[in-house]
């Protein structure tokens, strides 16, 4: 029987790819207009979707699930637009949800997550929250690196040190269903200068976002060998004007130019 995977983030894509590799007919259903929208811009996501479909996964974007049909076992997934996808298996990978029940009973301020300030302190003095349950400046991070950064700040704050957490520069560097993907910082780059390099033959895409002569964000699909260098430039905020013309071609080329 066919399978339906609901959710086009990293886990949903990997689940769909894993099923396809086992010979299962798979449809990946995603509510948004592109896969991994929190990590990829439109063009990078399109390349990823093309690569996944080439591996045997049918991708439906902008598709909202209305119901899962079946009696004692699943029989189909019904979409809001009326389409029905017959299946014998449904996998749901639709993101994280902060666990806030204990915080609510304790009188802490809770929105999407447990609200914390720049010291990771909650609305109750002396009570701190870090990780996926915490909401800082309106953001709940679902990645491990911000959890480590928050924990370091909370520990220092509890020890009386004057520390501040200003948020994390998100960086994703992984292989999604066999396709190398990297993104960091302000990868959308609205209103910023962008440098784009495409290689259709290799199926690779590189986009760099520049703001005030500094690298603010990057997206790499296919060839991610320069990912760590770009991530370091973004985090350091170092000026890149001297490297501007060669920046898109990697560290060795840029530093030799």
Domain identity same for 64 and 141:
no
Where does residue 3 rank: exposed (0-12), middle (13-18), buried (19+ CB within 10 A)?
Answer: buried
Domain identity same for 8 and 72:
yes
For residue 170, is it within any domain? Answer: no
> What pLDDT, on the 0 to 100 scale, is given for residue 233?
94
Per-residue HEC secondary structure of 29-40 comes to: ECCCCCCCCCCC
Nearest to 5 by CA among 22, 24, 30: 30
By residue count, the chain amounts to 257
The residue behind tokens 């350091």 is 236
For residue 165, is it within any domain? Answer: no
Domain identity same for 81 and 119:
no
Output the pTM of the full model.
0.79
Instruction: Report the SS3 class of residue 129.
Output: coil
Domain count, the chain: 3
Query: Helix, strand, coil shares of the chain as percentages rounded to 5?
Result: 30, 30, 40
For residue 127, is it within any domain? Answer: yes
pLDDT tens-digit map of 167-212: 888 788 888 878 899 999 999 989 999 999 998 888 889 999 999 9
> What pLDDT, on the 0 to 100 scale, is given for residue 12?
93
Domain identity same for 59 and 76:
yes
Distance CA 39, CA 46 (A): 12
For residue 194, is it within any domain? Answer: yes
Domain of 237, CATH number, reads 3.30.390.30
Query: What is the DSSP code (8-state) at residue 46?
Result: H
Domain identity same for 19 and 70:
yes
For residue 163, is it within any domain? Answer: no
Per-residue HEC secondary structure of 130-194 comes to: CHHHEEECCECCCCHHHHHHHHHHHHHHHCCCCCCCCCCCCEEEEEECCEEEEEEECCCCCCCEE
> What pLDDT, on the 0 to 100 scale, is given for residue 257?
63
Distance CA 237, CA 247 (A): 15
For residue 62, is it within any domain? Answer: yes
> What pLDDT, on the 0 to 100 scale, is given for residue 111?
96
Domain of residue 50: give its range: 3-92
Domain of 57, CATH number, reads 3.50.50.60
Domain identity same for 184 and 146:
no
> What pLDDT, on the 0 to 100 scale, is given for residue 252?
84
The low-confidence residues of the chain, meaning pLDDT below 70, are: 257
Domain identity same for 7 and 86:
yes
């Amino acid at each position: 029987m066919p399978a339906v995977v609901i959710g086009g983030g990293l886990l949903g894509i990997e689940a769909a790819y894993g099923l396809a590799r086992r010979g299962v007919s798979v449809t990946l259903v995603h509510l948004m207009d592109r896969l991994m929208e929190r990590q990829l811009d439109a063009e990078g996501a399109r390349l990823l979707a093309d690569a996944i479909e080439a591996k045997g996964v049918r991708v439906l974007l902008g598709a909202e699930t209305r119901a899962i049909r079946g009696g004692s076992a699943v029989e189909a997934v019904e979409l809001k637009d009326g389409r029905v996808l017959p299946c014998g298996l449904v996998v749901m990978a639709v993101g994280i949800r902060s666990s806030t029940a204990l915080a609510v009973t304790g009188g802490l301020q809770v929105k999407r997550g447990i609200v914390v300030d720049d010291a990771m302190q909650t609305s109750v003095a002396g009570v701190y929250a870090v990780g996926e349950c915490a909401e800082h400046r309106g953001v709940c991070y679902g990645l491990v690196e911000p959890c480590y950064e928050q924990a370091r700040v909370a520990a220092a704050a509890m020890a009386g040190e004057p520390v501040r957490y200003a948020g994390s520069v998100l960086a994703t560097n992984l292989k999604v269903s066999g396709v190398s993907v990297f993104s960091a910082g302000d990868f959308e780059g609205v209103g910023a200068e962008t440098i784009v390099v495409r290689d259709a033959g290799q199926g690779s895409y590189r986009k760099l976002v520049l703001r005030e002569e500094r690298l603010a964000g990057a997206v790499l699909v296919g060839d991610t060998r320069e990912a760590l260098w770009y991530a370091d430039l973004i985090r350091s905020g170092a000026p890149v004007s001297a490297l501007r013309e060669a920046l898109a071609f990697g560290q060795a080329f840029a530093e030799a130019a």
